[in-house]
Amino acid sequence: MEYIKQQPKTKRGEETLRKICEAAEQLFAEKGYYATEVADITRRAGISSGTFYIYFPDKLSSFRYLMDELGHELRKEIRAAKEELPSNSMIELEALGMRKFFRFVSEHIGLFAIVWQSQFVDPESFKKYYERFSSGYINEIQEAQKRGEIRPLNPAYLSYCLMGIYNFVALKSLVFDGKEPSDEELEQILSFIRRGLLEKP
């Protein structure tokens, strides 16, 4: 990864980097990037403050690294989930992806928080993050539109509608209410999306 200063060469080093990342992810989520001091991170990681700088050139790089890394993982998991299902119904795949999204975010609330605040920590990455997701959606939507599965609405805007729904529902349930949405609730949201998207609901 490009934001890292030194790849650990020993087991111990690997362990240390992992501890830094975990601590940083937690703290960025709990207190936000700016309110988190490097000393907070190293304290929680149980290392000295100089050690942080063996692995990262500065505080911002660790933020970018996490954003990249976690975003990567999320996309990978969603892709994997979709590939398991031998369906070519976009809506059914989307239902899977959405469930995966909530599962991942509830286990990595750090990602959610990190992305949310990245608009003012590192605007470049912020935009890139959403556009990468969006372009994945656009492809799927266009395919499904060709098949006549979903309605001929602007794919780019639709992708942001979907992301908006997922993000704000996650905000309400995970951040505000502190619990995962129930299957029943997810089903209702999916039902809203299905009707909105499908040519023949």
Binding to DNA (CB under 7 A) within 14-53 occurs at 15-16, 36-39, 47-53
* 163 makes contact with its own copies (CB under 8 A): yes
The residue (of 16 and 145) whose beta carbon lies closer to DNA is: 16
Smallest separation, CB 127 to its own copies (Å):
6
Smallest separation, CB 87 to DNA (Å):
45
Which among DNA, its own copies, none contacts residue 172 (Cβ within 5 to 8 A by kind)? its own copies
Task: Indicate which single residue of 2, 12, 84, 176 sits in contact with DNA (rule: CB under 7 A).
Answer: 12
Written as one string, the DSSP assignment of the chain is -TT-S----SHHHHHHHHHHHHHHHHHHHHH-TTT--HHHHHHHHTS-HHHHHHH-SSHHHHHHHHHHHHHHHHHHHHHHHHHHS----HHHHHHHHHHHHHHHHHH-HHHHHHHHHHHHH-HHHHHHHHHHHHHHHHHHHHHHHHTT-B----HHHHHHHHHHHHHHHHIIIIIIS-SPPPHHHHHHHHHHHHHHHBS--
Which among its own copies, DNA, none contacts residue 38 (Cβ within 5 to 8 A by kind)? DNA
Q: Which stretch binds DNA (CB under 7 A): 4-12, 89-97, 148-156, 167-175?
A: 4-12
Smallest separation, CB 4 to DNA (Å):
11
Based on its alpha-carbon atoms, the radius of gyration of the chain, rounded to whole angstroms, reads 19
Task: Indicate which single residue of 33, 56, 101, 104 sits in contact with its own copies (rule: CB under 8 A).
Answer: 33
The residues of the shown chain that bind its own copies, judged by CB under 8 A, are 31-35, 113, 116-117, 119-121, 127, 130-131, 134, 151, 153-154, 156-158, 160-161, 163-169, 171-172, 175-176, 181, 185, 188-189, 191-193, 195-197, 201
